[in-house]
Amino acid sequence: MPELLGNHSADSDDRRLEELPTNWDIQKIEQHFNTPLIRNWNELKQYEQVEQNPSPWTSSYWPTYQDSINARWRRGQPSPAEKYARAYGLDVK
């Protein structure tokens, strides 16, 4: 059984997520979605199973099909791999 937040086990109801200190990432997420994150374990347990409709799609497969980071996806600009190589003084050919 994995340990969560110190001595609290994964199936324990006494975890106190609401007492965790907030950090900037959590604040940015809450600001972006304009809603607070649920930090109370008992409240969070209501959402053990959810269904998103429509189902989210990760993205286009074209970047992978077109050679991933080697693809020049913006006309007239080097590929991400070329930018990395140039930044570190490597040969881009």
Q: Which of 5-14, 28-37, 68-77 has the lowest mean pLDDT?
A: 5-14
Give the Cα separation of 70 and 81 in Å (integer): 5
- pLDDT tens for residues 63-92? 778 888 888 888 899 999 999 999 999 987
Contact between residue 69 and residue 78 where contact means Cβ atoms under 8 Å apart: no
Length of the chain: 93
> Cα–Cα distances in Å, from 53 out to 39, 56, 89?
24, 8, 47
- pLDDT tens for residues 14-24? 566 566 666 77
pLDDT-above-70 percentage for the chain: 76
pLDDT at 8: 47
SS3 (DSSP) at 29: helix
